[in-house]
Amino acid sequence: MENKVLLIYTGGTIGMKENPDTLLLEPFDFTQILQEVPELRKFGFEVDTISFDPLIDSSDVRPEFWVSLAEIIRDRYDDYLGFVILHGTDTMAYSASALSFMLENLEKPVILTGSQLPIGMLRTDGKENLIDSLELAAARDPEGHPYVCEVCIYFETALFRGNRTTKYSAENFSAFRSPNYPHLAEVGTHIRYNNQALYRPEKWGKPLLLHTRLDTSVAVVRVFPGLSEKYLHSVLSSEGLRAVVLETYGSGNAPSHPWFLSALSEFTSRGGLVLNITQCPTGSVDMGTYATGDSLRRAGVVCGGDMTTEAAIAKLFVLLGQYSDNKTVGIKLEIGVSGEIS
């Protein structure tokens, strides 16, 4: 392995510029990023670059895009110290979650970053995010192992576990939060790694395994006062639907109306999966606390603990792609697969 990091540019604000005719931000040619950040040539390691074609606004991310990213990493895994992915912020937490489940036995850093202001702007946050991410991706501990062996998001001085992260602000430079898991590292005058929070492989040298069959037969239902029977019924009777992420109140509570519970029971008794996660940004589902939570358990609903919506969706895509039998998926949903659940 050579002393180099692979920088994968997919699009997003970080590499955008204003179209003078429409005044809208549009992706520009990646070579211009190197012009904007000459510092890239000053590292003690090399930076190779790959650019997606076409570049995308991350609102257009689809599961096939995750497969392409995972394959790029797999194909070049042995050649690089680590990988930095420049990605739009809008769906960055979804992509980071998906990659965390798709890349099993990962032992190298895969760091997604982006920016709130294009890299060509004077006040951009893109330069620091990019430079810091590259440094984190190349860093090695005194034994020569990477400090970071997982899929992360780096933004505004903090390194987050990717599948614990959610986009929090549409305008602040500090755009991401990891409400239920500590930062993996803080970047100031020094880089401070949080060794308690960072994942370490039990044994080094396991081969990287890729899970690229994703099954997207998933719906998300957010409960709200006034959720109608008709709406729930139309979602649950969608053709081919295998799983529903149910975003509930507080510690996993939902309406106790008989029609609501029987709609869920009917779906789970047909083999459908209902994964209970909370609408609260912090804290966890606990279906043993309140009678309403307990009724969900009796309706066959599975506990998603403190998983983010992004992680819940991505985990389902990967597990449903791996197992045709929903029972096995249901068991795995309640167990941490990639550090996504406390």
Which positions are annotated as active-site residues?
A: 13
C-beta closer to ligand ASP: residue 9 or 181: 9
CB 89, min distance to ligand ASP, A: 3
- Under a CB-based contact definition with an 8 Å cutoff, are residues 313 and 307 in contact? no
- Residue 90 as a binder of ligand ASP (CB under 6 A): the answer is yes
Q: Which of 51, 55, 82, 89 binds ligand ASP (CB under 6 A)?
A: 89
- Under a CB-based contact definition with an 8 Å cutoff, are residues 140 and 98 in contact? no
Q: Which of 5, 8, 12, 147 binds ligand ASP (CB under 6 A)?
A: 12
Report the run of H or E that residue 303 belongs to, with start and end. Answer: strand 302-303
CB 120, min distance to ligand ASP, A: 14
Beta strand ranges found along 191-283 (DSSP E): 191-193, 209-210, 218-222, 243-248, 273-278
Q: Which of 51, 58, 97, 133 binds ligand ASP (CB under 6 A)?
A: 58
- Under a CB-based contact definition with an 8 Å cutoff, are residues 49 and 56 in contact? no
C-beta closer to ligand ASP: residue 151 or 254: 151
C-beta closer to ligand ASP: residue 59 or 282: 59
C-beta closer to ligand ASP: residue 1 or 170: 170
Q: Which residue is nearest to ligand ASP (CB)?
A: 88
Instruction: Return the bridge partners of 50, or none.
Output: 8
- Single out the segment in contact with ligand ASP by CB under 6 A; choices: 11-19, 72-80, 149-157, 305-313: 11-19
Beta strand ranges found along 162-240 (DSSP E): 166-167, 176-177, 185-187, 191-193, 209-210, 218-222
Residues 280-309 that bind ligand ASP (CB under 6 A): none
CB 12, min distance to ligand ASP, A: 3
CB 90, min distance to ligand ASP, A: 3
C-beta closer to ligand ASP: residue 40 or 112: 112
Cα dist from 302 to 46, 181, 189, 330, whole Å: 46, 22, 44, 7
CB 168, min distance to ligand ASP, A: 13
C-beta closer to ligand ASP: residue 107 or 310: 310
- Residue 114 as a binder of ligand ASP (CB under 6 A): the answer is yes
- Under a CB-based contact definition with an 8 Å cutoff, are residues 48 and 7 in contact? yes
Is 59 exposed, middle or buried, given 0-12, 13-18 or 19+ CB atoms closer than 10 A?
Answer: exposed
Report d(CA 34, CA 40) in Å as an integer: 7
CB 291, min distance to ligand ASP, A: 41
- Single out the segment in contact with ligand ASP by CB under 6 A; choices: 82-90, 187-195, 226-234, 287-295: 82-90
**Parallel, antiparallel, or unpaired for β 4-9 and 16-18?**
unpaired
- Residue 59 as a binder of ligand ASP (CB under 6 A): the answer is yes
What does 97-148 look like in DSSP terms, one character per residue?
A: HHHHHHEET--S-EEEE--SS-TTSTT-SHHHHHHHHHHHHH-B-TTS-BS-
Report d(CA 316, CA 53) in Å as an integer: 28
C-beta closer to ligand ASP: residue 169 or 342: 169
- By the criterion CB under 6 A, which residues form the site for ligand ASP? 11-13, 57-59, 88-90, 114
